[in-house]
A and B are shown apart, each in its own frame.
Chain A
């Protein structure tokens, strides 16, 4: 690939300082649903004003610019080594330009690398596709919401204030453990949030696929009818918990639930839940015939 480093800096800047239009529209809808004068409405007004200011000033929407997660789809003749080096150079430059906070900490020494580069940092997933060119999807995933993600193994017996509930190895069991995770998160994941959920796979593959779900447009319809129905049910049930924006109580606890399913081992039934805060910072860049475009 030709020199793309500056384009990748642009991708990072877009993700850090502006929200995708479907996310911003969903936050406006959520604001309009809350009771006038309520704490929930106040929180959403502050969020929306903050988004405007960040966009106008080209400053980060949130000071926790998270871990940059790159999903790269590429043609057979593209060097992934070359792409990785250019993306890493762009991440360091974007940090220097204050679009990203230095977030890469060595867990052994406790030292922050200062440029968001380190072993396994940022995160890359490469996949060859049967098409020309390259598409790079970027998610900036903050730590607060990452901390409230969860992985369940079905069957699961949960406990609510001393009373037990059983979640079996079926889609209703999936529904119950996802609700349990949303309840446990309360407002701590910076609600209202969006969930990416993966059913099946192994433990590692489950979380990767769950985060992939966060790239789906909020208004798309799951091609698997049973999952489409579960997404709708879960969104309704999660909002019936009335945790609300920031955990202040209110009508919108989640504004999206996206579910994928991978084949599983007979012995394993994992449900992997990636919670994303209201600042769902995703951006996409494609390169076709040398032309760069952003979505």
Chain B
């Protein structure tokens, strides 16, 4: 059950049907509203919302906004370089992906709780995230490491920011409007991970090349 990779343009929010049609190797250009979140953001979502018996009143507004934005949405593992213009508006200067595997302990619950359709990052994630992708209908979108200027260019507008003062600029939830953000599907809803497959194949090649 594998076909040649295709290129798709998807607009957020993404439906379950759309995400289940994607396969590893597909190139996707994403447009619409996405939210950045890395280490502090994931820890916060787990502790304050997901595993908490009651969301504190002070965090209720953020929670409702995140529920709205992440439902059939995507979260982007990114610590951007941002600039505040004289009129107070924010803009993204450089916004490449950060390494995703650090969020492996949190991501499956975040996918399930908020109904995410995707996670953008680099380096891929582990078996628990892969399982969550299959069960809940989500994929891992790999952004190109180092493509900071191009991705910043794809960010058309900074819509809002949450928890900036508490977490600092790189760790905050930045709500951004993107246009044709280029990513590649490397973990899909069918249980496939390019990262696992490439590692296994290269291991076999290494064994051959170091024999004798």
Contacts and interface: CB of A to CB of B under 8 A. Distances in A.
Interface in A222-241: 237, 240-241
Contact of A179 (B146, B199, B210): B210
Interface in B3-28: 4-7, 24-25, 27
Interface string B114-144: 0000000011100000000000000000101
A38 B198 contact: no
A118 interface: no
B195 interface: yes
A37 B198 contact: no
A105 to B, nearest CB: 13
A277 interface: yes
B62 interface: no
B182 A241 contact: no
B207 A248 contact: no
Nearest to A189: B145
B210 A246 contact: no
Interface in A155-196: 158, 160-161, 163, 165, 167, 176, 179-180, 183, 186-188, 190
B150 A50 contact: yes
Which 10 pairs show the lowest CB-CB distances between chains A and B?
A: A63-B94, A50-B150, A62-B146, A165-B210, A63-B148, A50-B147, A54-B149, A190-B145, A241-B202, A46-B144
What class of interface size applies to chain A in its complex with B?
35 or more
A53 B210 CA distance: 41
B159 interface: no
A163 B149 contact: no
B184 A59 contact: no
Contact of A42 (B27, B80, B123): B27
Given A53-B153, A247-B198, A248-B186, 13 more contacts: A39-B184, A46-B147, A49-B147, A61-B146, A62-B147, A63-B80, A160-B206, A180-B206, A180-B210, A187-B195, A247-B194, A248-B198, A279-B146
B95 A63 contact: yes
Contacts of A186: 195, 198-199, 202
Contact of B147 (A37, A47, A158): A47
12 contacts: A47-B144, A50-B151, A64-B96, A101-B81, A101-B94, A144-B99, A186-B199, A186-B202, A188-B99, A237-B209, A248-B184, A249-B198
The secondary-structure label for the interface of chain B is: mixed
A142 B195 contact: no
Contact of B27 (A39, A142, A237): A39
Contacts of B1: none
A92 interface: no
Contacts of B145: 62, 144, 187, 190, 246, 277
A27 B25 CA distance: 20
A13 B199 CA distance: 37
Contacts of B210: 158, 160, 165, 167, 176, 179-180
A249 B152 CA distance: 26
A37 B5 CA distance: 7
